[in-house]
Structure 1
Amino acid sequence: MSTDPAIPAARASHPLSLKLVLIVPYVILVIALAVAVGTLSYSAGSRAVYTVSEHLLLETVGRIAQAVDRHIIGSGAVLESAFPDGMPAPTAIESEFHDLRTRFWIATSLHIDPNNYVYYGNEAGQGLGLYRHSLQDAELRMKLKSDEHRAIYRFSGIDGPLQFERRETKLFDPRTRPWYQDGKRVTGHTWTSVYIDFGTRELVATRARRVLAASGAFEGVVATDVSLRALNDFVGRLEVSPNGIAFIIEQDGNLIASSASPNMASLPDGGSARLKAADSDHTLLRAAYRLVQDRLGAPEATALPRVMTFSDEAGQEIHVAFDRIRDTAGIDWITVVAMPTSDFMAGVTENVTRTVMLAAVAVALAIVIGLRILGWVAGDLRRISEAVRRVGAGDFDVPVGVDRSDEIGQLARSFEAMQTQLRTDKLTGLANREAFLQQLNKRIDLARKDRRNARLAVLFIDLNRFKAINDTYGHDAGDLALQEVAERLRINVRGGDLVARYAGDEFVILLDQVASREAVVHIRRQIEEVLCQPLQVITPEGQEGVGTGGAIGQAIFPEDGDNANDLLKAADRAMYEHKFAGRKSSLTGS
């Protein structure tokens, strides 16, 4: 029997290692798993980051709109106070000088920031303006003849004596100014186009309204300025992203405010001129402007605000959000926020690249460490995902429980910051209504399980004179008053108690582990005394402090209610009984 010696020799020269058979597929599996994890992480991360970036863009656009609204909201009331609708204009400023000066002082008191300047010009070329430097100090800018230069007077108080300061070197004729010409042309309120101010050389928007004589003929224009410097500073301070920008433009493309470039151009003669977005030296600003300009002409342009994605000249992907700001007097501005995708995808890309490279270079190490890291990461992601799910179900107080310093840790901290915002009243920094109800329900559940510490109480507080403060001193003062009341309540409760702003000028307090009804009454009276103290934020100089006080109702668990809704209703009823009892007492003199 013959054999072929070549066959076993060939088999012997290529031995198949069992170890290799087991390791190679496993290594390939680990690499494939690493690649898969990297791909999935990149995909999930990019989707999440895209969503977050979209919300960030929309939120930033909204913040800009709020800033604009804060600058222009009071201008209409200022004009009506200076020249009430229907009041005829005097034929000469000097004939009603004292009345004009008084009304202008009152008008500039409504919204001293930013509407601290009211002025009037007439067909005779006369002009009168009142500029408030502070609550007490002001200057009067006046010219009674068309060919004379304006005189500047300083004074303090509504009827303080005028002290001549200087006379302007440049001739100011109100009839030639844009605000006068626009006010003369339009029958109602109107905004001028943004222009460079005659004196400050800064961008200004002016709201103007024509004033008629007793005969019904046009006599002059009353106006108030809104300086856009503060708005430009606000936009400039916005932190969109490392390379992100924000800007505001008019319909003609002129820049109003920008975080990326100046809003005015310097001329060779030393003067200044408006700068168009299309002429900006910032590449991203020009590209974002072109996109917005094209989209505003599309049929779907009414569905604003919008977020869009495009590629710039260098092929870089850019996300842009834009909105339109309009009012009845003619403002039509566009707010734009743009940032490159690379700004917020860099962390995700670096993390995936690092994972794949480590898997390729150190497969053996990745087998041991990679699986542990995967489990660690997956566990944290599951915790974040579970927290997201529970927040979506309305539980804002769920802890994330992720303590890391990498991107996932940043995501967890960002999520926790979002939870804090959802639980917090933005004006006062206290817990909001939803957070209070959640905490009250949790505390009631604990009290039902542990009867030894079952007693808790709710105080319902309604401020007494808050509307009068708003009406007298303005909404800004009202906001400051709410903040001061909130701080007083916060520092005058125990460490385990919870203070929340319930709605408007209503506050609630959860008193934990109260000993008795008498203890609750004692705490309530302490808080009543605290609320009666004068408010520091609106104490006029030389006058007695303004106080608010409040009606407080109390309810104790479980005597007055065995659930959150019943407790709040009981405390609310008690509060109204307290309020009406106080009113009745003050009326009867008892």
Structure 2
Amino acid sequence: MRLFSFLSLRQWLTLPYIALVFGVAVLIGALSYRTGSQAVDTVAHHLLLETVARIGQAVDRHVVGSAAALEAAFPNGMPAPDTIDADLPALRTRFWIATSLHIDPNNYVYYGNRHGQFFGLWRFNVQDAELRLKLQADRPRQKFRFSGINGVPSEPTTEQKMYEPRARPWYKSGEDNLSHTWTSIYIDFTTAELVATRARRVLDAQGGLQGVVATDLSLKRLNDFVRKLSLSDNAVAFIIEPDGKLIASSRSANTMPHPDGTNARINASDSDNELQRAAYAQVLGFAATGNKIDRALTQRFAGPNDQVVELALDRVRDDAGLDWIIVVAVPRSDFMQGVTANVQRTVVIGVFGALAAVAIGLSILGWVGRDIRRLTQAAQDVGEGRLEVPLDVHRNDEIGVLANTFRHMQHRLRTDLLTGLGNRDVMIRSISSRIEKARRTGDSMPFAVLFVDLNNFKLINDRFGHDAGDRVLMEIGNRLLKASRACDRVARYAGDEFLLMINDIPSRQVAEQIRHNIEELLREPLQTVDVSSLPEAVLMSGSVGMAFYPDDGDNADELIKRSDHDMFERKRTWQSDCI
């Protein structure tokens, strides 16, 4: 102790506390970093899966109408005429209908036959269109502008380049396949942009090949969607074919120009973005080990400069041979920026706290430590799927910011973002919790699960657009919420389907009356969308299936399946009544 004999008593009393505060500051920083790291892992996992799911939904939206467009243009079993000019009026009518089904994005449907003739209809909007016609194999195509299904065509304009339909990728793919098929992605003849085409062979009356009907999927819109995704500053999202050729990317072009003015496709391994190349290499390595991408999955790998990268993969397939891979890669440092800054601020606070250690005491340690433990427990709860557990941390400092962010994340994970109602997972857990409570407490009061599916929603959605459809869903969700009690639960299950859990119902007769009231509520005229232009027979309503606990099931899955089946039977009855 002689070594420290020069210290005064005041210093002896103060320095240990200062050292303690320094130590506590370091400990708090470490705990903050650990808690933040756990939270980041959870958030990163969910956000990556959500991002690939959003991209997958965008792809589905782009391809969902292609089969219907081809069927409308050439219904299966309808023989094609030997020459296009023998059936021009009928072709024009059917192709107008085909392009009306999903005008965005299937606004172009066309047909080429074995004689080298071509017929195509391009829709600019609901009224204006362009007819692209080639009746002689050795002549260029002509284009005619017109308005309305029976509009008078304008004077034709003739293309400068010769268009040979039989040499195009879509024709070759269609004639070689017995059913619907997607072409490999190619560069469009007119726009010089990347296009994928769904094609189907068309037969003559004798069953021989007469031609190929096709519709394009412009990848420019898909590429624009991927570019507009809200990702971090250094993240990359892209879609590729199994051979690595880029379809869409948030960080790089999907084509490159040649000196002769033509464009060529880019492979992800040749991208000018370092993280994109590394992510694609990881996909190749994943496939090389025999793994299959049959669902959305996440993993972590060492990226450029040995930085840790969070990776999410998913695969999009359909029955016509579409096979695309979705990749999202985010450097972990992008998620950790806020956590690192929080640790740095905590250390600074610790330094200033050391100067006032004697005055402020050590009471704050228990307060801070308690909130850190709550954050840690909250991170564990989220990781185990318990999203409804409240986080009782209310502060105005950095830990409070992290807590508020965490609460916001919990809210997003349990809420349907469009309607503000609970989502499917929350409803399933609510039903399970209600059943568990009944078993635990001996509560004999039954409850009902109502499965609501909207009638005519697809017609309204297709006729007035997805924005109108979203407004209808929000209005219906608000109606159901206002019609329910505080003890009931309302959730959006999927698409235009809703689930209600009606608590404390004394009998099945009361539940039937509630179902009747809900059906009457759904028949009320829409306030947010004007559907007066639709036929009088097309009214918004809903089919409501019901399951009664405990008579119809003793777990959430059984009750939902039973109510879904009941809804389906009622919808079938409704459809029969509408015929």
TM score, norm. by length of structure 2: 0.78
The range that moved more, 25-34 or 386-395, is: 386-395
Given residue 351 of structure 1, which amino acid in structure 2 is its aligned partner? Answer: N
Q: Deviations over 1:480-499 (max 9, x none)?
A: 64344335556889999986
By how many angstroms is 1:119 displaced?
Answer: 0.7
Distance 1:27 1:142, change over 3 A: same
By how many angstroms is 1:366 displaced?
Answer: 5.2
- Secondary structure of the structure 2 residue equivalent to 1:314: helix
1:255 pairs with one of 227, 243, 246:
246
The range that moved more, 148-157 or 208-217, is: 148-157
Distance 1:58 1:490, change over 3 A: closer
Question: Is 1:532 matched with 2:528?
Answer: no
Question: Is 1:116 matched with 2:107?
Answer: yes
CA distance in structure 2 between the aligned counterparts of 1:436 and 1:13, rounded to whole angstroms: 66
Q: Deviations over 1:276-315 (max 9, x none)?
A: 2222222222222222223222222446544333334433
Distance 1:535 1:135, change over 3 A: farther
Question: Is 1:322 matched with 2:322?
Answer: no
> Percent same amino acid at aligned positions?
51
Question: Is 1:58 matched with 2:53?
Answer: no
What are the equivalent positions in structure 2 for 1:15-164 lying under 5 Å apart?
A: 22-164=13-155
Conserved 8 A contact 1:79-1:209:
yes
Q: Deviations over 1:176-228 (max 9, x none)?
A: 21111222223322211212222222221111122222233322111110111
Distance 1:94 1:14, change over 3 A: closer
By how many angstroms is 1:416 displaced?
Answer: 2.5
Conserved 8 A contact 2:427-2:499:
no
By how many angstroms is 1:152 displaced?
Answer: 2.2
1:204 pairs with one of 195, 198, 212:
195
- Secondary structure of the structure 1 residue equivalent to 2:217: strand
Given residue 547 of structure 1, which amino acid in structure 2 is its aligned partner? Answer: L
CA distance in structure 2 between the aligned counterparts of 1:175 and 1:364, rounded to whole angstroms: 84
CA distance in structure 2 between the aligned counterparts of 1:389 and 1:312, rounded to whole angstroms: 27
CA distance in structure 2 between the aligned counterparts of 1:69 and 1:273, rounded to whole angstroms: 26
CA distance in structure 1 between the aligned counterparts of 2:376 and 2:3, rounded to whole angstroms: 55
Conserved 8 A contact 2:32-2:372:
no
CA distance in structure 2 between the aligned counterparts of 1:584 and 1:322, rounded to whole angstroms: 42
CA distance in structure 1 between the aligned counterparts of 2:101 and 2:110, rounded to whole angstroms: 15
CA distance in structure 2 between the aligned counterparts of 1:67 and 1:547, rounded to whole angstroms: 29
Given residue 311 of structure 2, which amino acid in structure 1 is its aligned partner? Answer: V
CA distance in structure 2 between the aligned counterparts of 1:312 and 1:552, rounded to whole angstroms: 51
Question: Is 1:418 matched with 2:409?
Answer: yes
- Secondary structure of the structure 1 residue equivalent to 2:523: helix
Conserved 8 A contact 2:293-2:313:
no
Specify the alignment match of 1:290 in structure 2. Answer: 281
Specify the alignment match of 2:181 in structure 1. Answer: 190
- Secondary structure of the structure 2 residue equivalent to 1:222: strand
TM score, norm. by length of structure 1: 0.76
Specify the alignment match of 2:157 in structure 1. Answer: 166
2:325 pairs with one of 309, 328, 334:
334
Conserved 8 A contact 2:132-2:141:
yes
What are the equivalent positions in structure 2 for 1:535-550 lying under 5 Å apart?
A: 537=529, 539=531, 541=533, 546-549=538-541
The range that moved more, 351-360 or 527-536, is: 527-536
Given residue 64 of structure 1, which amino acid in structure 2 is its aligned partner? Answer: I
Distance 1:334 1:493, change over 3 A: closer
Given residue 539 of structure 2, which amino acid in structure 1 is its aligned partner? Answer: G
Coordinate RMSD, CA, aligned: 5.2
Conserved 8 A contact 2:42-2:379:
no
Conserved 8 A contact 1:532-1:547:
no
Q: Deviations over 1:355-375 (max 9, x none)?
A: 345545763435665945543
Tell which structure's C-alpha radius of gyration is larger. Answer: 1
Q: What residue ranges of structure 2 are gaps of 5+ in the alignment?
A: 435-446, 505-512, 555-561
* Aligned length in residues: 567
What are the equivalent positions in structure 2 for 1:557-572 lying under 5 Å apart?
A: none
Distance 1:315 1:346, change over 3 A: same
Q: Deviations over 1:436-476 (max 9, x none)?
A: 79999999xxxxxxxxxxxx999997756558868999999
Conserved 8 A contact 1:484-1:537:
no
CA distance in structure 1 between the aligned counterparts of 2:317 and 2:258, rounded to whole angstroms: 31
Given residue 258 of structure 2, which amino acid in structure 1 is its aligned partner? Answer: L
Conserved 8 A contact 1:182-1:208:
yes
Distance 1:77 1:406, change over 3 A: farther
CA distance in structure 1 between the aligned counterparts of 2:3 and 2:450, rounded to whole angstroms: 90
- Secondary structure of the structure 2 residue equivalent to 1:300: coil
Q: What residue ranges of structure 1 are gaps of 5+ in the alignment?
A: 1-9, 444-455, 513-520, 555-559, 566-572
CA distance in structure 2 between the aligned counterparts of 1:483 and 1:356, rounded to whole angstroms: 46
Conserved 8 A contact 2:105-2:217:
yes
CA distance in structure 2 between the aligned counterparts of 1:373 and 1:476, rounded to whole angstroms: 51
CA distance in structure 2 between the aligned counterparts of 1:212 and 1:541, rounded to whole angstroms: 38
Distance 1:365 1:77, change over 3 A: same
Specify the alignment match of 2:507 in structure 1. Answer: none
2:341 pairs with one of 350, 363, 376:
350
Q: Deviations over 1:421-444 (max 9, x none)?
A: 34433553334477679999999x
Conserved 8 A contact 2:35-2:372:
no
The range that moved more, 55-64 or 473-482, is: 473-482
CA distance in structure 1 between the aligned counterparts of 2:261 and 2:76, rounded to whole angstroms: 42
- Secondary structure of the structure 2 residue equivalent to 1:347: helix
By how many angstroms is 1:130 displaced?
Answer: 1.6
Conserved 8 A contact 2:252-2:271:
yes
- Secondary structure of the structure 2 residue equivalent to 1:299: coil
By how many angstroms is 1:236 displaced?
Answer: 0.6
CA distance in structure 2 between the aligned counterparts of 1:70 and 1:412, rounded to whole angstroms: 36
Conserved 8 A contact 2:236-2:329:
yes
The range that moved more, 524-533 or 92-101, is: 524-533
Specify the alignment match of 2:267 in structure 1. Answer: 276
CA distance in structure 2 between the aligned counterparts of 1:537 and 1:350, rounded to whole angstroms: 47
By how many angstroms is 1:346 displaced?
Answer: 2.2
Conserved 8 A contact 1:151-1:166:
yes
Distance 1:195 1:358, change over 3 A: same
By how many angstroms is 1:260 displaced?
Answer: 0.8
CA distance in structure 2 between the aligned counterparts of 1:231 and 1:60, rounded to whole angstroms: 14
